[in-house]
Amino acid sequence: MEYKCLYDWSNSIYAGFEDFLKNIYSISVNYYLRKKENDSTDIVNFKLRKIREFVNNIEYYFYELIKLGYVKKSNVYFVIRQLISIELINFVKKNEMNFSGYTIGKRIFINPYIKDNKKMNAKQRTLLYSSHEYGHIINQKWKLDVIKQSKKIWENAKVQREAKRFGFDSNEYFVMGFEMLDETIVQDTAENVCYGLMKQERSPKIFKVKKEVFGDRPFLTNFDYYGEFQEVAVNFCKTLGIMHTQEKDSYEDVLKRLSMMAMKEDFSQILFEEFAGDITKLRDYFILFSIMGTIKDASYSVLDLNEGQDVTNKVLKYYGIFNNLCDYYKK
């Protein structure tokens, strides 16, 4: 079975992309056919169509990133290099159908049975969650840098003393704060890609409640998923000088700017430069990131029944401090 591209990628700027699409399709098809266990012929045919759809979605995603201005001459090689590092596209396991998808290392697993909702049909939502995972692959480079950098920051006595006062005993939550930004970036970008292809405006923001994260406190969002991160990330971004935001900027404006910055190889370095030179700022940003890490932890605890209330209480305890620090540093 040959993969036929949806777009013409023969221009030398996209060197390697067409070969990658053909390769990843055949690797993923062969892998599935080896592992298919006792899937019926109908299921086999359905899943083969799904693999083709997932690879089509890489094309839609990349095409739309170019069209929307995320990918330019300055970062096209970086983004292609990240995307072509995908090693396999497969399905979430049968007992994981509550997940729309996830990424482990360079292997991506997507739910083949994603359902439609009021705004998008099943195909569009499958593109949304394929795009979400492809975004994680692009961000992997700077996420590795953050882990390295955070170890050095943790060695700073002033930072450590303050972090421990808040009950953060290591750099773990600081790193998780970056993971919260990662989730926000990939979700916002995936939403822009889908609505862009649908030629529609992003949906209006509504108030939602997610008890596991903020208790009864409502938050404003227009994300399909991970809505609890949206305003947190926006408030955080408005503290960053490099973002050049203004108070009146919309969530979409702020997060698109953040996501465009994140599609550069040196994103984490650029962020660290913002606060690493000033010890008081470094200490405060360590706390800001760690609180975002707590919010990410609370959001993930929905999937892990052992955690629950403790982490929600932690979020509720620290969220006021988070907002005060953001207000203090707002440009």
Minimum CB separation of residue 155 from Zn ion in Å reads 30
Per-residue string for binding with Zn ion, 167-206, x by CB under 5 A? ----------------x-----------------------
Residues 74-133 that bind Zn ion (CB under 5 A): none
Q: Cβ of 20: how many Cβ atoms within 10 Å? A: 18
Minimum CB separation of residue 197 from Zn ion in Å reads 20
* Both structure tokens of 287: 């706390």
Q: Based on CB atoms, which residue is closest to Zn ion, 163 or 180?
A: 180
The structure tokens 């693999």 sit at 51
Per-residue string for binding with Zn ion, 131-170, x by CB under 5 A? ----------------------------------------
Which class for 165: exposed (0-12), middle (13-18), buried (19 or more C-beta within 10 A)? exposed
Q: Is the dihedral of CA 327, 163, 257, 214 positive or negative?
A: negative
Q: How far is CA 33 from CA 223, 267, 283, in A?
A: 35, 39, 52
Q: Based on CB atoms, which residue is closest to Zn ion, 22 or 143?
A: 143
The structure tokens 């550069």 sit at 264
Q: Based on CB atoms, which residue is closest to Zn ion, 127 or 163?
A: 127
* Both structure tokens of 115: 């359902």
Q: How far is CA 26 from CA 23, 64, 311, 316, in A?
A: 5, 24, 43, 48
- Using Cβ positions, the residue closest to Zn ion within the complex turns out to be 183
Minimum CB separation of residue 263 from Zn ion in Å reads 16
Q: Based on CB atoms, which residue is closest to Zn ion, 79 or 282?
A: 79
Number of residues lying near Zn ion (CB under 5 A): 1
Minimum CB separation of residue 288 from Zn ion in Å reads 21
Strand order in the sheet with 107-110: 88-91, 107-110, 101-104
Minimum CB separation of residue 256 from Zn ion in Å reads 18
Q: Based on CB atoms, which residue is closest to Zn ion, 150 or 299?
A: 299
Q: Based on CB atoms, which residue is closest to Zn ion, 183 or 212?
A: 183
Minimum CB separation of residue 37 from Zn ion in Å reads 27
Q: Based on CB atoms, which residue is closest to Zn ion, 130 or 245?
A: 130
Which class for 184: exposed (0-12), middle (13-18), buried (19 or more C-beta within 10 A)? buried
Instruction: Give the residues across from 221 on adjacent strands.
Output: 206
Give one word for 72, left, alpha or beta, with left for phi > 0 and alpha for psi -120 to 50: beta
Interacting residue ranges for Zn ion, rule: CB under 5 A: 183
